[in-house]
Amino acid sequence: MQVTRSTKYEELPDLLTPIEAAAYLGIHVKTVREYIQHGQIRAARNGRHYLIRKQWLLEYLEKAAEAPPD
């Protein structure tokens, strides 16, 4: 399945790569990797790669919605 910005949350796979998460969020993959490094998006390391649970992506979105604008 190809993940895009128009993919519904329910249709997302249980585990996403940073590339899939970036496509869903509509941001650059480097930004997703920065968020992972800074702990803004939870991710599990699988060898050299990261995997993001769909629930963790939802947690990030909920926190981002609560954060006051800069």
**Higher local confidence (pLDDT), 1 or 23:** 23
Q: Cα separation of 29 and 1, whole Å?
A: 18
Which structure tokens are listed for 33? Answer: 């990797």
Residues 6+ apart with CB under 8 A from 40: 60, 63
Fill in the DSSP letter of residue 68. P
Tell me the per-residue pLDDT of 41-70, one tens digit each, with 9 for 90 and over: 999 999 999 999 999 999 999 999 997 776
Chain segment 18-34, per-residue pLDDT in tens? 999 999 999 999 999 99
Domain parsing of the chain, residue ranges: 9-66
Residue 68's contacts (CB-CB under 8 Å, 6 or more residues apart) are none
Full-model pTM: 0.90
pLDDT value for 70 = 66
pLDDT digits (tens, 9 = 90+) for 4-19: 999 999 999 999 999 9
Question: What is the phi/psi pair of residue 36, to 5°?
Answer: -65, -50
Q: Considering the domain 9-66 in this protein, what is its CATH number?
A: 1.10.1660.10
